[in-house]
Amino acid sequence: MSKIKPSQGAPYARIMGVGGYRPTRVVPNEVILETIDSSDEWIRSRSGIATRHWASDEETVAAMSVEAAGKAIADAGITPEQIGGVIVSTVSHFKQTPAIATEIADKIGAGKPAAFDISAGCAGFGYGLTLARGMVTDGSAEYVLVIGVERLSDLTDLNDRATAFLFGDGAGAVIVGPSKEPKIGPTVWGSEGDKSETIKQTISWEEYRAGSPEKFPAITQEGQAVFRWAVFEMAKVAQQALDAAGITAEDLDVFIPHQANERIIDSMVKTLKLPEHVTVARDVRTTGNTSAASIPLAMERLLATGEAKSGDTALVIGFGAGLVYAATVVTLP
Helix, strand, coil % (nearest 5) of the chain?
Answer: 40, 25, 35
Residue from 53, 93, 261, 289 carrying the catalytic annotation: 289
**One-letter amino acid of 101:** A
Cα(171)–Cα(21) distance, rounded to whole angstroms? 5
Helix (H, G, I), strand (E, B) or coil at 229: helix
Which of 45, 297, 264, 6 has the alpha carbon at shortest distance from 152? 297
What residues contact 25, with CB distance under 8 A and at least 6 apart? Answer: 53, 54, 55, 56
Cα(132)–Cα(217) distance, rounded to whole angstroms? 31
Residue from 53, 122, 261, 277 carrying the catalytic annotation: 122
Cα(194)–Cα(192) distance, rounded to whole angstroms? 5
Q: Is 122 an active-site residue?
A: yes
Cα(297)–Cα(329) distance, rounded to whole angstroms? 17
- Is the separation of the CB atoms in 258 and 319 below 8 Å? yes
What residues contact 201, with CB distance under 8 A and at least 6 apart? Answer: 155, 217, 218, 219, 220
- Is the separation of the CB atoms in 178 and 136 below 8 Å? yes
Q: Is 258 an active-site residue?
A: yes
Cα(158)–Cα(144) distance, rounded to whole angstroms? 36
Buried b (16+ CB within 10 A) or exposed e, 221-257: bebeebbebbbeebbebbbebbeebeeebeebbbbbb
Cα(43)–Cα(39) distance, rounded to whole angstroms? 6
Residue from 29, 93, 258, 261 carrying the catalytic annotation: 258
Q: Is 289 an active-site residue?
A: yes
- Annotated active-site positions, please? 122, 258, 289
